[in-house]
Structures are given as C-alpha cells and as structure tokens.
C-alpha cells in the first residue's frame, strides 16, 4: 500500500485517501473513515430501504418538528385533531392535502400551539401573515364582489 492509500474494511480494496470520507476522531487512519465512500453509500441505501425505516424516520421527524418548532408536546397534535372531530379547524375538511398530513398550526409571535389545519388553510394563514386585519379585508373584498353576481 502506497502513501496516501487506505484499505477499505468493507470491500477490502486499496484506494486513494480521497475515496474515504473525513472522520476527525479517527487518528489512526489520518482522519479518514474505515469504509470507502462507495461502501458507505451502499450501507446507507440498504438501511434506508429496509421495510418500515422510512415510515418510522418520517414519524420521528414529525414528532420532533411539532415539539421543537411548533410547541406541540407529544400527543397534543392527536388530541387537537380529535377535539376538532378529525377535520381542519377552519374549513372542516377531512382531507389534509399537501403531503397527506394535517399541519400543526402555531402563533408565529408567541410560538404557542393553536390547532390542526389542512394544507390550504395553513398556507392561507401564512400568506395573510396571521394578521386578522388583512383577513377581515379579504372577507370584505369577497363579500363585496359576491353581491355583484
């Protein structure tokens, strides 16, 4: 093995150092990982393709996100959705839209959790900047032009 080359512990091939990701804690291998980039990639692909992994990772991400971004404690999302009868708090649809999940709505100023909304209502509130005055103007505008017909 020449200088600047490493042996991959997975495939057993001797490869250039550039074929290995950095691993600063590994001082015996000049700060490089023990598996080459190709083997590391295959390991990750195989793990992600195991049955149930994607679903459990997505669920874990949603729970973390609802807690840390929106203040929804574990179980609060489900409680709010149940209190709302399994529908959007605004338009009452039972179809969440978007990626198939209702959205955990929160106050952007205080970060306090509010309710559970469908994709369209969540986006609409965001576009109206959570401002009741703008929403009231939108209501007046719609009422004005619905009377014309």
pTM value is 0.59
Whether the CB-CB separation of 44 and 53 falls below 8 Å is answered with: no
Over residues 113-146, the pLDDT tens digits come to 999 999 999 999 999 999 999 999 999 999 999 8
Q: Single out the residue of 102, 121, 98 nearest to residue 62, CA to CA.
A: 102
Give, as one character, the DSSP assignment of residue 50.
S
The full 3-state SS of 59-112, as one line of letters, equals HHHHHHHHHHCCCCCCCHHHHHHHHCCCCCCCCCCCCCCCCCCCEEEECCCCCC
Grade residue 56 by pLDDT with cuts at 50, 70 and 90. Answer: confident
Mean pLDDT, the chain, whole residue set: 87
Render pLDDT for 101-122 as a digit per residue (tens, 0 to 9): 899 999 888 888 999 999 999 9
In degrees to the nearest 10, what's the CA dihedral of 19, 25, 27, 28? -70
- Domain residue ranges of the chain, discontinuous segments joined by +: 5-48, 53-148
**Dist. CA 30–CA 81, nearest whole Å:** 53
Class of domain 53-148: alpha beta
- Identify the band that residue 86 occupies on the pLDDT scale cut at 50, 70 and 90: very high
Strand partners, 14: 7
Tell me which residue of 87, 63, 60 sits closest to 76, measured CA to CA: 63
């Amino acid at each position: 093995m020449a200088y600047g080359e490493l042996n991959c512990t997975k495939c057993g091939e001797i490869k250039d150092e550039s074929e290995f990701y950095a691993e600063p804690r590994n001082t015996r291998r000049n700060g490089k990982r023990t598996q080459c980039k190709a083997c590391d990639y295959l390991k990750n692909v195989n793990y992600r393709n195991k049955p149930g992994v994607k679903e459990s990772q997505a669920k874990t991400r949603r729970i973390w996100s609802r807690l840390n971004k929106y203040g929804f404690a574990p179980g609060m999302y489900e409680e709010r959705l149940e209190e709302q009868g399994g529908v959007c708090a605004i338009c009452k649809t039972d179809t969440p839209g978007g990626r198939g999940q209702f959205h955990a709505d929160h106050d952007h100023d205080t970060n306090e959790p509010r309710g559970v909304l469908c994709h369209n209502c969540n986006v609409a509130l965001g576009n109206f900047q959570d401002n009741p005055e703008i929403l009231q103007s939108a209501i007046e505008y719609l009422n004005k032009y619905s009377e014309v017909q």
